[in-house]
Amino acid sequence: MAKRNLLPIQVEKIGKWWRKEIEIDLVGLKRKERRALAVEAKWTELDYQEAKRLLSKLTAKAQQIRDVKETIVRIIAKKIVNKEKTRNESFIALDLQDIGDLSRCQLLHD
């Protein structure tokens, strides 16, 4: 997704992140702009409340990323029930169907 410019920021460095006992599945950094993208991935089905709870935990973890002024948080799961509701509340939760749709859309434009 990063190579195809499908992320909300164009990251320069991407990978797993941890500090002490805090771990984030994926963090992408845009150092010059001091921006970060933090992503938690779950290989399970989440309902709306679980997705919201996971996002809240991720937001707290992401505050530990040093030297950034803005962090965008996202969650990805195997399936998210009522994911449209999350988008109405200004947070984005993606599932495998969304990622497949993004990939197919991008492939049509290559």
pLDDT tens digits along 40-83: 999 999 998 999 999 999 999 999 999 999 998 988 888 888 87
Dist CA 35 CA 9 (whole Å): 8
Half-sphere exposure at residue 89, Cβ-oriented, CA atoms within 13 angstroms: 12
pLDDT tens digits, 7-24: 556 767 888 999 989 999
Domain ranges of the chain: 13-109
| Per-residue pLDDT, 13 | 84
CATH class as words, domain 13-109? alpha beta
At 105, the pLDDT band (50, 70, 90 cuts) reads low
Pairing of β 93-95 and β 22-30: unpaired
For 65, counting Cβ atoms within 10 Å of its Cβ (0-12 exposed, 13-18 middle, 19+ buried), the class is middle
